């Protein structure tokens, strides 16, 4: 259900559970295993995308409909835990949203560092129409990304939005033609991967950790991560290359 492809310094994670790549327990377990692989491989950036016409069409309703309350809580916590792993992966993660990203699909996309959307992409949290609420982080991440008012409207109405509206709201960074999605995403990923891997890791950690704390605490986190950079060979290489007017050769050390 999860395919892994490497292109130079980029790992592509493809979700493959036809027909719409619905999230089920089996897919979550396999994704958890694959994230171990991606965390420890030599790539510097990861891209998450869907195989076929959908990114993720939502959670598997057939699996969920007969869950008792305890099983539902476990399913929610499993999904939250694995999406937290994506959010906190030690390398940048781009969501390349190729089609429907509904319910759990929007939640997967939001767990990535930013979203690049195909013009054919659709986003939404339609769970209230099923007597549910988002359970994989949607009630928390959506408001943090686009603001409480717009997030409540989307969740309370359950309506879908297109890629351009997602960009207008600040959910997606870019909207591109469908046949250009992966090339564009790879171009951005390779631009990122040309930078120092540990600096990317520390920048991501500083931003994630500091986002929900008071400014003075966030600045302390930033100073700590800034200090860590000076313990790396990449910092020395980057500064020397700048002075010598040459391209740096970062090794992630």
With H, G, I as helix, E, B as strand and everything else as coil, classify residue 176: strand
Determine if the peptide bond prior to 19 is cis (ω within 30°). Answer: yes
Structural domains of the chain, ranges and CATH numbers in brackets? 2-193 (3.90.226.10), 197-243 (1.10.12.10)
Q: Give the count of beta carbons closer than 10 Å to the beta carbon of residue 236.
A: 12
Q: Mention every residue, 6+ apart, whose C-beta is less than 8 A from residue 217.
A: 210
pLDDT digits (tens, 9 = 90+) for 151-187: 999 999 999 999 999 999 999 999 999 999 999 999 9
Determine if the peptide bond prior to 208 is cis (ω within 30°). Answer: no
Query: Tokens representing 191?
Result: 């631009």
- Helix or strand (DSSP H, E) at 47: strand 45-50
- Helix or strand (DSSP H, E) at 58: none
Residue in this structure with the two tokens 């982080």, named with its chain if needed: 137
Helix ranges, 194-244 (H): 197-210, 215-229, 233-243
pLDDT digits (tens, 9 = 90+) for 78-124: 999 999 999 999 999 999 999 999 999 999 999 999 999 999 999 99
**Would you name the residues annotated as active-site residues?**
107, 127
Confidence of residue 60 (pLDDT cuts 50, 70, 90): very high
């Amino acid at each position: 259900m999860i395919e892994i492809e490497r292109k130079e310094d980029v790992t592509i994670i493809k979700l493959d559970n036809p027909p719409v790549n619905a999230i089920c327990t089996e897919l979550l377990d396999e994704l958890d295993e694959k994230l171990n692989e991606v965390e420890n491989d030599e790539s510097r950036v990861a891209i998450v995308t869907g195989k076929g016409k959908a990114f993720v069409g939502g959670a598997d309703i057939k699996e969920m409909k007969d869950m008792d309350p305890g099983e539902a809580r476990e399913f929610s916590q499993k999904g939250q835990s694995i999406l937290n792993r994506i959010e906190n992966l030690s390398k940048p993660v781009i969501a390349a949203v190729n089609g429907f990203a509904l319910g759990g699909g929007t939640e997967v996309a939001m767990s990535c560092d930013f979203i690049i959307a195909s013009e054919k992409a659709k986003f939404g949290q339609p769970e209230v129409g099923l007597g549910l609420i988002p359970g994989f982080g949607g009630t928390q991440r959506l408001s943090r990304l686009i603001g409480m008012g717009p997030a409540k409207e989307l969740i309370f109405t359950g309506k879908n939005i297109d890629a351009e509206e997602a960009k207008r709201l600040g959910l997606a960074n870019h909207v591109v033609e469908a046949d250009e999605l992966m090339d564009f995403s790879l171009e951005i990923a390779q631009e990122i991967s040309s930078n120092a891997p540990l600096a990317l890791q520390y920048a991501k950690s500083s931003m994630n950790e500091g986002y929900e704390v008071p400014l003075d605490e966030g600045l302390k986190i930033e100073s700590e991560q800034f200090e860590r950079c000076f313990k790396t060979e990449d910092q020395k290489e980057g500064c020397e290359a700048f002075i010598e007017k040459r391209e740096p050769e970062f090794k992630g050390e």
